[in-house]
Structure formats: C-alpha cells, structure tokens
Amino acid sequence: MRIREARAEELPLLQEIERAAGRCFREVGMAAIADDEPLSVEELRPFLDAGPALVAVDGADRPVGYLIAERIDGALHVEQVSVHPAYARRGIGRDLLEHLAALAAAEGLPALTLTTFAEVPWNAPYYARCGFRPVPPDALGPGLREVRAREAAHGLDRWPRLVMRRDL
C-alpha cells in the first residue's frame, strides 16, 4: 500500500472507512462505539491544513485506511487511525503509524501518543505490539489531559481507556 497525504475530496471516504471499521466494536459489546458517528467533514478538514492527515491507498489510488494526527504536548498525537475491514490484517495500520513516526522524527519530535480502549484486542494490545507503552494519568501533559477530558465528556470512559506513548 502506498501512503500519501489525504485530499479534501476524500474526507467523506474517510468517514466511510471509520464507520466500517467501527462495526467490529459491536462484537465486543460496545454498540455505542459502533454506532458513534465519525468526525464530520468540517471537523476533519483542519487536519488537512495542520497535518498530518495520511491515507493508505489501493492500486486505484482510493483510500482504504487513514490516520489523522495533531501536535500535542510536544509529540504527534494520533487522533484517529482506521482501516477498512476489507483490508484488515495486512499491516496497513502499522504502516500508517510507521509513516507518522518517520514524520515526527523528521520534525525532531520525541514521541507519538494516542488514547485507546485498554481491553479491546485491536486497541491497546495492538498498540503495545507497535511499541506504545501506557502513560500513567499523573504523567500527562495539559494537552493530553484535555484530550482525555473531551473523551470522558463524549462518554468513552464507559470502558477502560488509557493514554499510550511511543518514544522515537
């Protein structure tokens, strides 16, 4: 898979990818997550401007996975990474994370961070295999504390969550 910057006209496709990828949460008793709407096109658009907003594309240059990130507390924070289930288990998510790690290193940033569900197999355990480690709540910077507060307000804390970091 080739990875490139996302384009504005692809934002509705990114929403479709996230909806499709989210359906698997139903299998682990998290229907509310499966039914949660992705970020709107208007909410996604600033990621194109500030970057990085990456897509993994198939042979026809159509996105099959994406990753959006922002700079928080001196690191690149993964806001969302999703791969369409038809393309799952091919290393696309890992490739997107590795591409992001290279971008962060090129910027001189020391780490990647993300928040995730602690007990969902394709969340925290997967990210641990990708080199991320849990960050204790008392070690969070102000930006990550704000991210966690927004998540809690959105109802995500109904299931155990954690912040993870991958030093570069």
Strand pairing partners for 68?
Answer: 53, 80
pLDDT of residue 1: 84
pTM: predicted TM-score of the whole model, two decimal places: 0.94
pLDDT of residue 75: 97
pLDDT of residue 122: 85
**Sequence ranges of the domains in the chain:** 2-167
* Cα(110)–Cα(126) distance, integer angstroms: 21
Return mean pLDDT, the chain.
Answer: 95
pLDDT of residue 57: 98
Give tens-digit pLDDT for 48-66.
Answer: 999 899 999 999 999 999 9
Above 90 in pLDDT, residue 102?
yes
- Contacting residues for 6 by C-beta, under 8 A, at least 6 apart: 14, 47, 48, 53, 54, 55, 63, 66, 68
Closest CA to 151 of 53, 71, 77: 77
Give tens-digit pLDDT for 16-55.
Answer: 999 999 999 999 999 999 899 999 999 999 999 998 999 9
pLDDT of residue 121: 84
Give tens-digit pLDDT for 116-129.
Answer: 999 898 899 999 99
Please check whether residue 31 is in contact with residue 94, taking contact to mean a CB–CB distance below 8 angstroms.
Answer: no
pLDDT classification of 92: cutoffs 50, 70, 90: very high
The CATH code that applies to domain 2-167 is: 3.40.630.30
Above 90 in pLDDT, residue 72?
yes
